Amino acid sequence: MSTTISQEQCLVALTRISRVAGKLGDPYETIFVNQHGSPVVSLTEWYRLRKQLGPGSTCNTYLTCLLPYISFLEEQACPWNASPQQLRPVIMAFYRDRLGCQIHPGKDGESVEIVPTRDTPLRPSTLRVLRAALRDFYLVLKDAGLYAFAHPLTSEVLVALKREQMSTLANGGAPDHAGIREETHERSRRRSTAFLRHAQTQEWKPELRKELADVREGIHAVLNALIDSGEVSLREKAVLELLQNTGARLHEIILMTVGGYRNQGLAGQARVVNKGSYGCEIKTLYFSHNPRVEQALTAYIEQVRPLHDPRRRKKLAEVDDHEALFLTERGTPYSVKSFYYHWYRHYEPLRNMCPVRFSPHDLRHLFVSEFLIRLKLACGAGTDHFDAERYLREREAFGNQVMGWRSAKTLDIYDQTRNGESVLSTLAGYQHDLAARRYVPELATVTHRQPERPKGSPLEEEKPSTCESESVVWTHDSETLAWIKKRQFHAQEEEKGGQL
C-alpha cells in the first residue's frame, strides 16, 4: 500500500498540471489546466472520453501516468498531435531526461528499449503502466478522430512486416486444434509491432512458499476468523466470501454493479468487468454451491445497503442496473482503497495465524491451486488410472470459463508450481526428521537386506558350517558354485584313476 502511494507521489511530483472542477451544466466535469492557467484540451478531452470506456480506477491510474508526459510536452513546446516522426524523439527525451532511463536501439532497427537505472524514480512495473497509458491516450483520441496520424508508439514497418508474415503463414486460417497451422494464433497475435519496448523480465510464477499446505491452511484460518468476527462489517464479509469462492480479482468484485449481480435472474452467478474488457461485463462468477456466499450478499443488501443508499431504497429491484452494488457510508461507490483500509485494520491482529503474510490477491492464487489439486484427484492422480486427457481438457475449460484467461500458459505455470511444491514438501519432511535426529534408518535396512531367492535354489540347499565360537555364513553366486562343483568332479575322477 505504501509502495503504491510512493509511486503516485513520484508521478505527481513530475507534473505541473492541475485539475479544475467544471461548472454545473458544463460538458466537462473536470478541466485540466497548465501552470499558466490555460486549459490542456487534449488531456481534458481524453479524460471525458476515457471515463465512458471502462472502470474509473483504470482511467484515474492512466491519468496519473499521463500528467508528467503532458507536462513535458508543454515544456518542450511540442504539440501533442504532432506526427510520429516529431513525437518519438520527444518521447525518448521524456524517458531519458525526466525519468532517468537509458534508451537502447532494438535489434530490429525499428524500435527502442527502455531500461531503468538507479536514478529512475519509478519501478519497472510502473513504467509498463506508463507505456500503456501513453498507448491508450493516442488510441482514444485517434478513435475519436482527433489524431490524424498513425499511432506514434507503433512502428509502421513492423506492422507491415507482421501483415506480410501473416499472409505467408502456412494454413493461416486454420484453428489451433486442427494441428496444421504453422504457428498458434497466440504466437501470431504476440508478434510485437511496438516502437517503445521494455526489457524482458522473468516470467511470473506463483510464490512457492504460499503454495504449501501449512500456508494454505493458515490463509483459510485467517479468512474464517475474519468472516466469523463481529467487528468486520457485512460488506467486507460479502467481499471476502466472493474472493474465497470465485477466485475473482478484487476490483472485479468491488466494482460489481447491481445489474451484474442480478445477471438476468440467474441465481448463484454474477457478471463482472474482466481485465481488458473495456468496461463490459463479460466475465461470470459462479458461487451457487456455497450457500454462505448468497447469505452474506443477501445480509448486506437487505441490512446495510439501504442505509448507505442516497435515496434510501430498501429493495434492490428499485435500483438501476448501472449503479454500484457495494457502497461506502457516504453513499458513493465502494473502492479498492477503501477495502484495503478495512483489510489491514482487521487482518493485522490475525496475521500470526498464518506462517507468512498474504494479501487479498493471494486468495486468487489459493483458489486456482486448490482447484487444480482437486481436479487432479478427481482424474485419478496417484493411481494407475490417471486420466491425463480429461485433466488437460477440464483444466483448460476452468482457465477459460471460470478464471477468464485467454491463454492456457497461465495454468501451465501453476502446474509447474505444483511440482515445485512437491519438492519443497519432501524437503520439509526431511528437515523435520533432522530436527528430531531421525536419519532415514529404513534406508540402511533396505540396502543390507538379502534379496529373496526362489525356493529350491542351490543356495538354499547349502548348509552353512557352524562352530561354537561364531557362525559364518558362506554365500556364492552361481558361477562360483559351478566352478566349485567342477573342481570337486575332477578331484573325484583323479581319485578313481589312482585307485585303478
Are 32 and 19 in contact, with CB atoms under 8 Å apart? yes
Reported as a pLDDT band with limits 50, 70 and 90, residue 13 is: confident
Exposure of 195 by Cβ count < 10 A (0-12 exposed, 13-18 middle, 19+ buried)? buried
Are 281 and 266 in contact, with CB atoms under 8 Å apart? no
Q: How far is CA 378 from the centre of its chain?
A: 24
Q: Which three cell numbers stand for residue 346?
A: 482487521
Reported as a pLDDT band with limits 50, 70 and 90, residue 194 is: confident
Contacts of 12 (CB under 8 A, 6+ apart): 64, 67
pLDDT at 209: 76
pLDDT per residue over 209-259, tens digit each?
777 888 999 999 999 999 999 999 999 999 999 999 999 999 999 999 999
pLDDT per residue over 434-457, tens digit each?
777 776 655 444 444 444 544 444
- Between strands 281-286 and 112-115, the pairing is unpaired
Separation CA 389–CA 401 (nearest Å): 18
Contacts of 327 (CB under 8 A, 6+ apart): 305, 308, 309, 333, 334
Question: For 146-155, 176-185, 214-223, 387-396, which range has the lowest pLDDT when averaged over its residues?
Answer: 176-185
pLDDT per residue over 33-58, tens digit each?
988 889 999 999 999 998 887 767 78
Are 144 and 135 in contact, with CB atoms under 8 Å apart? no
Better-scored residue on pLDDT, 446 or 279: 279
Which CATH code of 1.20.59.10, 2.160.20.10, 1.10.443.10, 3.90.1150.10 fits the domain covering 208-424?
1.10.443.10
Q: Which three cell numbers stand for residue 273?
A: 468487468
- Cα dihedral: 447, 451, 452, 458 (round 10): -150
Nearest to 50 by CA among 40, 39, 61, 36: 61
Query: Can you name the residues that pair with 32 across neighbouring β-strands?
Result: 19
Nearest to 388 by CA among 379, 377, 397: 379
pLDDT at 1: 44
Residue 272 backbone dihedrals phi, psi, to 5 degrees: -130, 165
Asked whether the predicted pLDDT for residue 203 surpasses 90, the reply is no
177 SS3 class? helix
pLDDT at 374: 87
Are 279 and 341 in contact, with CB atoms under 8 Å apart? no
**Residue indicated by cell numbers 536501439:** 105
pLDDT per residue over 54-81, tens digit each?
767 788 889 999 999 999 999 999 999 9
Residue boundaries of the structural domains of the chain: 2-157, 208-424
pLDDT per residue over 335-350, tens digit each?
998 999 999 999 999 9
